[in-house]
């Protein structure tokens, strides 16, 4: 069935360094790829997304890249700050039909001050 693999499961970086989280999806029909940040005890919040008609999208310190051929997409956070510490989930979805999201297993990011 449809599957999204996410790596790494945990990631520790020094404040100011960059962090990269990678996801691979199985359904070639997927065309929408959001990233959610979930702080401890809070709801998942959308931080950035990308649709299949673009290869890269950037919003301040956060960027997402998509390689449809390889079915890979990645989250890049530059100049990390302690408040970036959270669990990050990638997801893959179709923009029509079922709206079903398949979530990755999550990455726990720790930014060390």
Partner 1 sequence: SAVISQKPSRDICQRGTSLTIQCQVDSQVTMMFWYRQQPGQSLTLIATANQGSEATYESGFVIDKFPISRPNLTFSTLTVSNMSPEDSSIYLCSVDGSGANVLTFGAGSRLTVL
Window of 15-23, 56-64, 71-79, 100-108 that interacts with partner 1 by CB under 8 A: 100-108
User: Cβ closer to partner 1: 13 or 94?
Assistant: 94
The distance in angstroms from the start CA to the end CA of the chain is 41
Distance CA 103, CA 110 (A): 20
Interface residue with partner 1 among 42, 55, 58, 61 (CB under 8 A) is: 42
Token pair 């029509």 is found at 96
Window of 19-27, 56-64, 76-84, 98-106 that interacts with partner 1 by CB under 8 A: 98-106
| Total of chain residues touching partner 1, rule CB under 8 A | 21
Window of 52-60, 65-73, 78-86, 89-97 that interacts with partner 1 by CB under 8 A: 89-97
**What's the full length of the chain, in residues?**
113
Closest approach of Cβ 24 to partner 1, in Å?
15
**CB neighbour list of residue 85: distance below 8 Å, 6 or more residues apart:** 109, 110, 111
DSSP letters for 4-19: EEEE-SEEEEETTS-E
Beginning with the edge strand found earlier in the chain, give each strand of the sheet holding 4-7 in spatial order. Answer: 4-7, 19-25, 72-77, 62-67, 56-59
Residue 7 found at the interface with partner 1 (CB under 8 A): no
Residues lying near partner 1 in the complex (CB under 8 A): 1, 32, 34, 42-46, 49, 89, 93-95, 98-101, 103-106
């Amino acid at each position: 069935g449809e599957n999204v693999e996410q790596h790494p499961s945990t990631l520790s970086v020094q404040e100011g360094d960059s962090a990269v989280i990678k996801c691979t999806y199985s359904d070639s029909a997927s065309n929408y790829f959001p990233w959610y940040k979930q702080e401890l005890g809070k709801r998942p919040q959308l931080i950035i997304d990308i649709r299949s008609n673009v290869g890269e999208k950037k919003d301040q310190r956060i960027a997402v890249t998509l390689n449809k051929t390889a079915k890979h997409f990645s989250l890049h956070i530059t100049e990390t700050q302690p408040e970036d510490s959270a669990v990050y989930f990638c997801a893959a979805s179709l923009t029509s039909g079922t709206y079903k999201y398949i979530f990755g297993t999550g990455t726990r990011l720790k930014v060390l001050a």
